[in-house]
Amino acid sequence: MYRPFIKLVILVNVFGLLTCKREAEIGHPVILVPGDGGSQLEAKLNKSSVVHYLCAKTTDDYFDLWLNLELLVPLVIDCWVDNMKLIYDEKTRTTSNSPGVDIRVPGFGNTSTVEWLDPSQASPSAYFKMIANELVGFGYERGTSIRGAPYDFRKGPHEQTDYFTRMKSLVEETYNDNGKKSVVLLTHSMGGVMALRFLQLQTQTWKDKYIRALVTLAAPWGGAVKSLKVFAVGDNLGVFVVREGVLREEQRSSPSLAWLLPSTNFWKHDEVLVTTADAKNYTVQDFEEFFRDIDYKTGWEMRKDVLSIANDFTFPGVEIHCLHGYGVNTVDRLDYGIGKFPDGYPNLIYGDGDGTVNRRSLEGCTLWQQKNKVYHQPLPDVSHMNILTDDRVIQYLRSLLVGKGRKIK
């Protein structure tokens, strides 16, 4: 979505497609699993009140909510924030839509709603489009041997029970519709850890039968420091006319953002992630205090809900192909000057990564390499979103799906 974890499609320029000949009969069918912001969302309204006179109270039918570029403009964006944000219930430990807002995820099983985030198919909203086109060039067919598994990316993994059930059925259906060939899960960003959680919930017998491999592009295995930045000041999604603080209310309300905070599996207990002028610092051990000090205690409640899942780095029991970029400036620490914390804007201290996810988190898959089923492919100077259009990724997929080799130069 460009939400915090997939540097906004609004910044993506999709260049000319590769011209690949159909080289061979396809091997294994593919299911595309998107990341944070990588699914279309539709809404229907029946509200008793609105935040701005420009906002609609009711609609006769569902309309495009994410990613509708027309809604991300000044004034109108206030309506969008109010419709998109989630309401947290501390008793049930779950979230719900704002009163009078019904949101659904269209296109499950198809590819159109993960290829394009704006149904108008405006070029800035292209997401899995290039990869899907290339798979068709290899001999794949949309809706049969290429499927899509969109989901409500705002929700945490503990709220995705229905999605995981539908995903299991989709894998089995795709397997049966393609001559009982096992399925490749091809994921981007948060989709990688969503797929990890899905696979952790399945039996080994089921995975041995139905899953050929998990291919991850830019997976945030251990979260990212950028999530702290979003909780603190927000993110403008690459829309330069929108202030980050305007979107913070909506972004903060997503349990998925709390899920992607830096993990103790990847950051040491004494590593400082946020510094302030009064020498008060915050590490992965201090998230409760951090949320209290930024006056957003709900953030800590949401983090507690997903903590056991975030810390579960159990090998998923399938072959893994882990591709990611590195060598791109990535937020490593937030440094607040005198009088800036918590309401001011921090200096962003950068380290290595793909521009969104820190390198140590991207390389998390290497911790499983003793399993002899993990293939790791780092790509220099490739950003979090550009990995979806990188020629070397296309070459890798070609080799894996219709060729014999795996390695790329």
CATH of the domain at 302: 3.40.50.1820
In a domain? residue 193: yes
Q: How far apart are CA 10 and CA 124, in angstroms?
A: 5
The band of 75, judged by pLDDT with boundaries at 50, 70 and 90, is: confident
In a domain? residue 80: no
Average pLDDT, rounded, for the chain: 90
- CA distances 291 to 115, 227, 263, 282, 345, Å, are 36, 12, 16, 10, 16
Range of the domain at 224: 22-38+106-401
Compute the average pLDDT of residues 137-155: 96
From the list 182, 189, 253, 263, the catalytic residue is: 189
Stronger pLDDT, 148 or 125, i.e. the higher one: 148
Compute the average pLDDT of residues 10-37: 62
Which pLDDT value is given to residue 239? 55
391 noted as active-site residue:
no
Which pLDDT value is given to residue 3? 57
Cα 296–Cα 292–Cα 281 angle in degrees, nearest 5: 120
Q: Does the pLDDT value for residue 18 go beyond 60?
A: no
In a domain? residue 408: no
pLDDT per residue as tens digits for the range 213-258? 999 999 999 999 999 999 999 987 665 446 677 789 999 999 999 9
Which pLDDT value is given to residue 354? 98
pLDDT per residue as tens digits for the range 259-314? 999 999 999 999 999 999 887 899 999 999 999 999 999 999 999 999 999 999 99
From the list 64, 332, 354, 390, the catalytic residue is: 354
Which of 381, 379, 351 shows the shortest CA–CA distance to 225?
351
Dig out the tokens for 83 from the structure.
């419709």
158 noted as active-site residue:
no
Which pLDDT value is given to residue 11? 35
From the list 321, 383, 384, 390, the catalytic residue is: 384
In a domain? residue 124: yes
Compute the average pLDDT of residues 36-40: 94
pLDDT per residue as tens digits for the range 329-378? 999 999 998 888 998 999 999 999 999 999 999 999 999 987 779 999 99
In a domain? residue 206: yes
Instruction: Name the amino acid, one letter, at 376.
Output: H
**Number of independent structural domains in the chain:** 1
In a domain? residue 220: yes
In a domain? residue 46: no
189 noted as active-site residue:
yes
Q: Does the pLDDT value for residue 141 go beyond 50?
A: yes
Which pLDDT value is given to residue 404? 52
In a domain? residue 43: no
SS3 142: strand
Q: How far apart are CA 78 and CA 71, in angstroms?
A: 9
Q: How far apart are CA 192 and CA 322, in angstroms?
A: 9
Stronger pLDDT, 46 or 409, i.e. the higher one: 46
Q: Does the pLDDT value for residue 19 go beyond 70?
A: no
Which pLDDT value is given to residue 13? 37
